[in-house]
Structure formats: C-alpha cells, structure tokens
C-alpha cells in the first residue's frame, strides 16, 4: 500500500518532522510506503521559497543577520525539499500520463476535484490522476484535508471512478485520522500476533480451544480427501479427537469493526486416524479392514475471538494436510 500526502496536510513542515507525520513514517513496518506527488513537491517548494523570503525580510527589520535564510529560486527550493524528503524516506511520484483532452473535459464539466466553474482545481486534478495511476498496481491511501476530494470520504463521483481500478482507494482527512483508524488497529493486531507467537498470550482456554477444534475436525473428516493425509484414495477415515493443543506455527491477526479479532492460525500436530478399506476376498467379494495411523499434519484455522482473546466466538478449519516432510503412511498390498 502507498500513502499519498496532499500539499494541504504538510503546511509549513519543510523538514517533515511534524509529530503525527513522524509517527506515520515510523510505522511503515506495517507494510506501507509514504509518498507525495510531483505536484505537491512543486507546491511545497514554492511555499518554502516564499516563507524563506519573508523570514529574511523579518530578520532585516529586526536588525539580525539574514544570510542564513537568503532567498532561493524555485530550482534550489525544490532541491532542498527533495533532500529533506529523501532523508525521511518519502517518495516522489511522477506526473501521470493523462491527455490534455481529458483534463479539459473534466474542467469544463466542473467535475471534482475541479470547482463547479472549472476555474480552480487543476493541481488537485493532477494529484487525483496520480492516485488513480498508482491504484492500478497497489492499494492507495490519500491523506487530504480540504474538501476538494470530498467532505469526509471521497466525493460520490470520485468514488465511482475508483470502481474501475484494480486496487482500493481510501481517503483520510488528516494524519491523526489515519493514525487512529488505520495504524492503531494494525499495531494492536501486530502486538497480538507477536504475543501469541512468543507464548505470552494464549488463545482462550485450552479446554475450549480443543473442544471447538475437535468438533471442526469431526466435520472436516466427513468431507475431506484421503490424499490430504497421504492415504490411498479408497480409504474411508476418521480423525480421532486431539487430547492436547497443536503447536502454533504462524498467526496473523486483524481487528474487526465490532472490536473482535480475526485470527488466521497455522498449527502443527500429529493426529490419530482410523481408516477403513475394502479388502478383495475373491469372486467380487470384499470385506472391511481397518488400519490406524499416526500422521503429522498442518492445520489452517480461522477463528474470531473477543478482543482480549478470552473467548472464541467461532472457529473453522480451512485445511488439514499431511506435512510435506512426513513419511507416507504404510498400507498393505491387496487393498483396492
């Protein structure tokens, strides 16, 4: 995912050290990148040049040496902003390749982010085209304060444009909303993942977890393929109930809107399997035969739990599969 910052959220933060922005930059470990458009680079550099000129004028009036803030031209201002962006790991996205006819048509129709008379909004329109260009390859988050893109979320007409894109576009009104609604839940989920992996937290009680898991294993056995467990195709089998929790191999967590937690678990254990075969006795006569196996397996499990993990609201098994490094379970000759 890429997070695109509009010019209006940067204000006069030319070093990109504002506390909330630094928090967003710091949490890129959650899997997103931070960027601005080339339009924002030009706008921010222009603001920097003007502020620097005003600062020099103020220092002159105060009788202070102004050489530290001598005026710079546009190219120098852009070079300074580029350097500061690079220092913070913020990318600069290229201008989108959009035909002039499309921009003109958008302005004449007064389509957002242009104003209704089409006289304002050209730069915002370029930023919007940058958003759409990136949403062809990854999810995009736009952080923009003003109402040019919509009052709260994207305006209905802009939201309609995103329907044709291959990836999602989400809009936040400012840094703090993004931190509260996106970063904070991700961090909480990440903390839960780490605590489960490190054994600092347990998933509900052992008894409840085993009860739900065994209930799902029984349902799974009725429709699973013998191949999943390395058994011959003609085997009818039943997985015996587990008497101890499986080993946790991996886990991912996501907070749901109602405060519950969606967990995707990869578990490892050994299961006792009772398999039934038809043994050919001659003259089209078969008799049942039974064989027991102890099979190492991997289980993919989805669970919805309370936010504190103290209770499991639902649990389902997505996959049970013999471990790849396990030996093939033995079976006798003569079985069909």
What CATH number did the domain enclosing 100 receive? 3.40.50
Task: Please give the average per-residue pLDDT across 90-118, as a whole number.
Answer: 72
Chain position carrying tokens 């949403």: 135
Q: What is the 3-state secondary structure of 202-255?
A: CCCCHHHHHHHHHHHHHHHHHHCCHHHHCCCCCCEEEECCCCCCCEEEEEEEEE
Query: Whole-angstrom Cα distance, residue 325 to residue 298?
Result: 11
Indicate whether 336 belongs to any domain.
no
List, in sequence order, the alpha helices (H) in 63-205: 74-87, 100-108, 122-134, 156-162, 175-178, 184-197
Rg of the chain over Cα atoms, rounded to whole angstroms, equals 30
Indicate whether 192 belongs to any domain.
no
The predicted structure's pLDDT at residue 171: 94
Final residue in a domain of this structure, among 186, 217, 242:
186
The predicted structure's pLDDT at residue 334: 34
Q: Does one domain contain both 35 and 178?
A: yes
Q: Which of 1-5, 74-78, 253-257 has the lowest mean pLDDT?
A: 253-257
17 DSSP 8-state letter: -
Query: Whole-angstrom Cα distance, residue 217 to residue 164?
Result: 41
Indicate whether 220 belongs to any domain.
yes
Percent of all residues in the chain with a pLDDT value above 90, rounded to a whole number = 28
Indicate whether 330 belongs to any domain.
no
Rounded alpha-carbon distances, angstroms, from residue 37 to 5, 14, 41, 123: 8, 15, 6, 10
Predicted confidence (pLDDT) at residue 234 exceeds the cutoff of 50? yes
Sign of CA dihedral 9, 11, 14, 20: negative
Q: Does one domain contain both 220 and 170?
A: no
Q: Which of 5-14, 116-125, 321-330 has the lowest mean pLDDT?
A: 321-330
Say if CB 152 and CB 131 are below 8 A apart.
no
Indicate whether 328 belongs to any domain.
no
Q: In the structure encoding, which two tokens stand for residue 9, read together?
A: 């959220």
Rounded alpha-carbon distances, angstroms, from residue 36 to 63, 81, 231: 38, 11, 56
The predicted structure's pLDDT at residue 22: 95
Say if CB 316 and CB 326 are below 8 A apart.
no
Q: Does one domain contain both 246 and 315?
A: yes
Say if CB 142 and CB 171 are below 8 A apart.
yes
| Model pLDDT for residues 276-326, shown as the tens digit of each residue | 877 666 666 667 777 788 888 888 999 888 877 888 888 888 888 887 655
Chain position carrying tokens 């530290």: 68
Q: Which of 46-60, 142-156, 285-299, 320-334 has the lowest mean pLDDT?
A: 320-334
Q: Does one domain contain both 167 and 242?
A: no
| DSSP-based helix, strand, coil % in the chain, nearest 5 | 40, 25, 35
Q: Averaging pLDDT over each range in 106-110, 141-145, 204-208, which range is the top one?
A: 141-145
- Count of structural domains, the chain: 2
The domain of 82 spans: 2-186
Final residue in a domain of this structure, among 126, 156, 186:
186
The predicted structure's pLDDT at residue 103: 67
Chain position carrying tokens 């990136």: 134
The predicted structure's pLDDT at residue 330: 43
Sign of CA dihedral 155, 158, 164, 170: negative
Task: Please give the average per-residue pLDDT across 122-132, as a whole number.
Answer: 87
The predicted structure's pLDDT at residue 33: 96
Query: 329 — phi, psi (to 5°)?
Result: -60, 140
The predicted structure's pLDDT at residue 324: 64
Predicted confidence (pLDDT) at residue 51 exceeds the cutoff of 60? yes
The answer, yes or no, to whether the previous bond of 113 is cis (omega within 30 of 0) is yes
Q: Which of 10, 16, 18 is nearest to 47 (CA)?
A: 10
Q: Does one domain contain both 28 and 128?
A: yes
Q: Does one domain contain both 168 and 227?
A: no
pLDDT category, 38, cuts 50, 70, 90?
very high
Q: Does one domain contain both 237 and 262?
A: yes
For residues 119 and 84, the model is more confident at: 84
Q: Which of 192, 183, 255 is nearest to 27 (CA)?
A: 183
For residues 88 and 188, the model is more confident at: 88
Q: Does one domain contain both 68 and 115?
A: yes
Q: Averaging pLDDT over each range in 4-13, 101-110, 267-276, which range is the top one?
A: 4-13
The predicted structure's pLDDT at residue 272: 86
Q: Is 154 left (phi over 0), alpha (psi -120 to 50) or beta?
A: beta
Final residue in a domain of this structure, among 125, 157, 186:
186
């Amino acid at each position: 995912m890429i997070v695109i910052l509009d010019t209006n959220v940067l204000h006069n933060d030319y070093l990109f050290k504002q506390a909330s922005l630094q928090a967003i930059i710091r949490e890129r470990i959650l899997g997103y990148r931070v960027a601005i458009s080339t339009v924002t680079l030009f706008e921010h550099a222009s603001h920097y040049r003007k502020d620097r000129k005003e600062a020099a004028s103020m220092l002159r009036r105060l009788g202070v040496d102004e050489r530290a803030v001598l005026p710079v031209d546009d190219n120098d201002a852009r070079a300074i902003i580029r350097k500061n962006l690079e220092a913070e790991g913020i990318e600069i996205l290229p201008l989108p390749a959009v035909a002039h006819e499309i921009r003109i048509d958008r302005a004449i129709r007064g389509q957002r982010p242009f104003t209704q008379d089409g006289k304002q909004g050209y730069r915002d329109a370029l930023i919007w085209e940058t958003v759409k260009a990136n949403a062809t390859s990854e999810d995009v988050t736009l952080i923009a304060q003003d109402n040019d893109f919509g009052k709260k979320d994207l305006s209905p007409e802009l939201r309609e444009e995103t329907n044709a894109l291959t990836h999602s576009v989400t809009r936040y009104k400012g840094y703090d909303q993004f931190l509260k609604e996106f970063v904070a839940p991700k961090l909480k989920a990440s903390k839960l993942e780490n605590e489960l992996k490190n054994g600092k937290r347990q998933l509900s009680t052992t008894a409840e977890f085993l009860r739900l898991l065994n209930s799902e294993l029984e349902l799974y056995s009725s429709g699973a393929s013998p191949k999943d467990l390395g058994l011959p195709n003609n085997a009818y089998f039943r997985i015996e109930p587990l008497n101890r929790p499986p080993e946790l191999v991996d886990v991912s967590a996501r907070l749901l809107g109602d405060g519950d937690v969606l967990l995707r678990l990869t578990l490892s254990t050994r299961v006792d399997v009772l398999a039934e075969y038809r043994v050919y006795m001659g003259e089209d006569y078969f008799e049942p035969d039974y064989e027991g196996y102890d099979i190492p397996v991997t289980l993919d499990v989805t669970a919805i739990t309370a936010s504190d993990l103290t209770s499991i609201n639902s649990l389902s098994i997505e996959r049970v599969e013999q471990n790849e490094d396990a030996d093939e379970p033995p079976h006798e000759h003569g079985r069909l």
